[in-house]
């Protein structure tokens, strides 16, 4: 017997049934709190995404937090240098679990135009785990929003992502 079968017909249009885990995933995926941080030019597009024209608030993701203790999403927007790598890792470690990372732009993905420079990390995934990579130099605000919606799907359906990886 399905759990929905025990709900009286008169209530079926008024009652939603889920699991606690499903409820948490739904809540997390609709209220990501990004850390206020930017490394270089890609961060300007990130700021645009939060402003009125692109209105990240439509998706519940506009509450940028100045403290890693209050953030669950790290958008690494810009060029990561080896000198900045330890502070970046420390900020990531200070974020509470569960936490997510978006690498925004070619520099964060793999060093971009500076990939061969002695001072640049060739991809932020060399330092911290990354959930979503967004290509572009810089990616437009729409691309960041699309990447965040992909992260939303990943949070809600981690089992699909795991199957794709296999």
* Side-chain half-sphere exposure of 150, counting CA atoms within 13 A: 15
E-state strands within 15-61 = none
137 labeled binding residue: yes
Q: Given the DSSP bridges, would you call strands 73-77 and 132-134 parallel, antiparallel or unpaired?
A: unpaired
**By the rule CB under 6 A, 147 interacts with ligand SF4:** no
Nearer to ligand SF4, 32 or 124 (CB): 124
**By the rule CB under 6 A, 56 interacts with ligand SF4:** no
The footprint of ligand SF4 on residues 73-132 (CB under 6 A) is: 78-79, 105-107, 112-113
Contact window for ligand SF4 (CB under 6 A) among 9-17, 36-44, 55-63, 156-164: 36-44
Q: Which of 85, 72, 160, 71 shows the shortest CA–CA distance to 123?
A: 85
Which of 7, 33, 38, 40 contacts ligand SF4 by CB under 6 A? Answer: 40
Cβ contacts of 78 within 8 Å, gap of 6 or more: 38, 39, 40, 41, 42, 43, 104, 105, 107, 108
Q: How far is the CB of 67 from ligand SF4 (least distance, A)?
A: 24
Contact window for ligand SF4 (CB under 6 A) among 18-26, 40-48, 57-65, 115-123: 40-48
């Amino acid at each position: 017997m399905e759990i929905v079968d025990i709900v009286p017909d008169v209530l079926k249009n008024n009652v939603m049934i889920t699991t606690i885990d499903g409820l948490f995933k739904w809540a997390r995926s609709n209220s990501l709190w990004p850390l206020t941080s930017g490394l270089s030019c890609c961060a300007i597009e990130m700021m645009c995404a939060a402003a009125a024209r692109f209105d990240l608030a439509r998706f519940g993701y506009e509450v940028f937090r100045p403290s890693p203790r209050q953030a669950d999403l790290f958008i690494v927007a810009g060029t990561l240098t080896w000198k900045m790598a330890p502070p970046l890792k420390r900020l990531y470690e200070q974020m509470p679990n569960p936490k997510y990372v978006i690498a925004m732009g070619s520099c964060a993905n793999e060093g971009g135009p500076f990939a061969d420079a002695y001072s640049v990390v060739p991809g932020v995934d060399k330092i911290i785990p990354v959930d979503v990579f967004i290509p572009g130099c810089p990616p437009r605000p729409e691309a960041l929003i699309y990447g965040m919606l992909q992260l939303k799907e990943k949070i809600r359906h981690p089992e699909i992502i795991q199957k794709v990886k296999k």
